[in-house]
Amino acid sequence: MADIRPEPGRGSATPLLDRVHRPADLRALDGSTLTALATEIRGFLIAEVSRSGGHLGPNLGTVELTIALHRVFESPRDRILWDTGHQSYAHKLLTGRKDFSRLRAKGGLSGYPSRAESEHDLIENSHASTALGWADGLAKAYRLAGRADRRVVAIVGDGALTGGMAWEGLNSLADQNLRVVVVVNDNGRSYAPTRGGLARHLSARRTAGGRRQRLREVPVAGAPLYRALHAMKTKITNMRAPQSLFQGLGVEYLGPVDGHDIAATEEALRQATRLDGPVVVHCVTRKGNGFAAAEQDELDRMHVVRPRSAAGGRPPADWTSVFADEMVRIGAERPDVVAVTAAMLEPVGLQAFAERYPDRVFDVGIAEQHAVTSAAGLSAGGAHPVVALYATFLNRAFDQVLMDVALHGCGVTFALDRAGATGSDGPSHNGMWDLSMLQLVPTMQIAAPRDGTRLRAQLREAIAVEGHPTMVRYPKGPVAPDIEPVARAGTAEILALPDGPGDVLIVAVGPMAAAALGAAGRLAAEGVAVTVVDPCWVKPLDAELLKLAEAHRLVVTVEDNGRVAGAGAALAQAMRDAGIHRPLHQAALPQEFLAQAGRDEVLEQAGLTARGIARDVAHALARLRVTDHEEVV
């Protein structure tokens, strides 16, 4: 095998990585060089991700596994599917994407696979447990087309196997006997330690594999590599486990194999390609491997790190921490309040609640559908569950919210973190769909707090409701400064009043209040009398809000949700139903998948700033001077 060395005088910190431009370049390297390459990749990731921010721990755990994958399979002819995509940074490097300077920033590399970036990425997988469904469909399509030369490989974290879709996919793979290689990247964790029966099964397989024959690094120096691989093949063959859960389902099983041993992993994958049906290759890895700070982090192995430039000093209070504090207080007052989440205990702010009330928190794994229906059961049994999720992940459980919680009149509160524009995690993570989806749910009550004080108060109001579901949504990032009302209109709160009759009513949903007030100030300087109101509860809308709308020439709604079926659309419908004929302008996020950028950048691009809102209002007023007969402008 060739021994690629740095060019004289090059002076690069990654001389081997610099000369790998595509996966085929890996096949010219021998064992010791591959080990050195893995070291370079790990050092690169630690340096670059620490600087830019991003998913560090998961990617440090998949370096050797990724090298082995690209040596065995010929991407993009063979399709490599990552589930979830936040473990694909080494894959990006080995497929020619080495500029991490703007990782997860506007114009930079995505934190997930991206079809726009590379032909080696087919699915932009940032929601877990879906890769086996993709693999099932791809393998069926290749079979129909007679493409026996193409293989499908899905890399599934052990945490993703807690999601029901993964098992639906695995069931279909076995039923159709599809030639799919399922690599279980088993590090015992999703965000935090993986829980449940599957986690115990994989742990037992790891222990049994260690008792039979503990894997060790294959010596390659001084002996042909094929001899070492032949010995490794014998080891892996001996580890086939008829009693494994997977084989009981009709899926072949190989492993466990040390996922940080490139030769062992490579040979396991090669053996999998020789089987004529679905096969699970069980790779044991360590999240954060090779970085002491990550390995010693018992909470999440440095799952996500903040940019180094922002890491100094004490971070400002954020929305999640306000929710976390108030949940602990409510828990002390209400022993019936329990918490449910889906493998996101710490990110959604339930860690402190779990420490105080360990018997009253339920982490169900990456299984949002189950989380919601289980919450319905908790409610039916006399508890009041608070289901805490990222807003984007509630998309996956709409049917359960509708048919299990709402239809059955269950008192369940949904706390949706990262609502609105989240930015850096890309289009899949913007929480811009919840107001539209949940407007469809009968009896649902929806609160959108504008600041920390309102979050505390509205969370308590939501939890006090029994007999139907409630939802409280709040964004990512530092909590907004408190804005006190100057008057009230039913449950709505008026934040600004002109001295005389108002020309424009701005209905500011939740954290958009500050931008709306800024716009009102700009418009006042131009002689436009503006009233700003926060509805507080955007479903149902208070009748007093409709009276306010009728008292103004123009109504403007401002929300960090998509325009279609959101709060603005709901107000327009309510006005029509009440016979109120006033023009209404909706300022909201465009109904499209928004490119990755910071939250402030996304809002600015959508015109959801004081300047943008004031400009839109001025244009709408100008059109009103031409005609007074339009209801929506």
Q: Which amino acid is at 85?
A: G
Q: Is the pLDDT of residue 45 over 90?
A: yes
Of residues 598 and 257, the one with the higher pLDDT is 257
Q: Is the pLDDT of residue 52 over 50?
A: yes
Alpha carbon distance 237, 249 (integer Å):
20
Q: Is the pLDDT of residue 627 over 90?
A: no
Query: Is 396 designated active site?
Result: yes
Question: Was 398 annotated as part of a binding site?
Answer: no
Q: Is the pLDDT of residue 292 over 70?
A: yes
Alpha carbon distance 488, 547 (integer Å):
12
Q: How confident is the model over 301-307, as a mean pLDDT? A: 73
Alpha carbon distance 162, 198 (integer Å):
7
0.85 exceeded by the pTM?
no
Give Cα separations from 265 to 236, 285, 405 (angstroms). 9, 11, 45
- The reported pLDDT for the residue numbered 189 is 62
Mean per-residue pLDDT over the chain, rounded: 87
Question: Was 158 annotated as part of a binding site?
Answer: yes
Query: Is 287 designated active site?
Result: yes
Question: Was 368 annotated as part of a binding site?
Answer: yes
Please say whether the beta carbons of 510 and 493 come within 8 A.
Answer: no
Q: Is the pLDDT of residue 517 over 90?
A: yes
Alpha carbon distance 455, 536 (integer Å):
10
Comparing 109-113, 239-243, 554-558, 584-588, the range with the smallest average pLDDT is 239-243
Question: Was 414 annotated as part of a binding site?
Answer: no
The catalytic residue among 287, 450, 454, 539 is: 287
Question: Was 86 annotated as part of a binding site?
Answer: yes
Q: Is the pLDDT of residue 309 over 70?
A: no
- The reported pLDDT for the residue numbered 218 is 30
Question: What is the per-residue pLDDT across 594-604, written as a single tens digit (0 to 9) for each?
Answer: 888 888 999 99
The catalytic residue among 48, 64, 267, 368 is: 368
- The reported pLDDT for the residue numbered 11 is 65
Q: How confident is the model over 444-451, as a mean pLDDT? A: 98
- The reported pLDDT for the residue numbered 203 is 62
Q: How confident is the model over 421-444, as a mean pLDDT? A: 89
pLDDT > 70 fraction of the chain, expressed in percent and rounded: 86
Which residues 6+ apart lie within 8 Å of 96 measured at CB? Answer: 21, 22, 118
- The reported pLDDT for the residue numbered 424 is 78
Question: What is the per-residue pLDDT across 196-250, written as a single tens digit (0 to 9) for each?
Answer: 665 566 666 655 554 333 333 333 223 333 333 334 443 444 444 445 788 888 8
**How crowded is the C-beta side of 222, counted as CA atoms within 13 Å?**
1
E strand intervals along 376-513: 384-390, 413-417, 445-447, 470-473, 487-489, 492-496, 504-508
Of residues 427 and 16, the one with the higher pLDDT is 16
- The reported pLDDT for the residue numbered 231 is 43
Domain coordinates of the chain in residue numbers?
15-304, 319-473, 494-626
15-304 and 319-473 agree in CATH topology: yes
Of residues 244 and 160, the one with the higher pLDDT is 160
Which of 392, 465, 464 minimizes the C-alpha distance to 435?
392
The catalytic residue among 179, 396, 454, 599 is: 396
Question: Was 160 annotated as part of a binding site?
Answer: yes
Question: Was 50 annotated as part of a binding site?
Answer: no
Q: At what angle do helices 63-72 and 262-273 cross, to 10 degrees?
A: 40
The CATH number corresponding to 494-626 among 3.30.870.10, 3.40.50.11810, 1.10.630.10, 3.40.50.920 equals 3.40.50.920
The CATH number corresponding to 15-304 among 3.90.230.10, 3.40.50.300, 2.60.40.420, 3.40.50.970 equals 3.40.50.970
Question: Was 291 annotated as part of a binding site?
Answer: yes
Which residues 6+ apart lie within 8 Å of 577 measured at CB? Answer: none
Of residues 149 and 307, the one with the higher pLDDT is 149
- The reported pLDDT for the residue numbered 423 is 75
- CATH code of domain 319-473: 3.40.50.970
Please identify which residue in the block is written with the tokens 């239809």: 407
Query: Is 298 designated active site?
Result: no
Question: Was 549 annotated as part of a binding site?
Answer: no
Q: How confident is the model over 589-614, as a mean pLDDT? A: 92
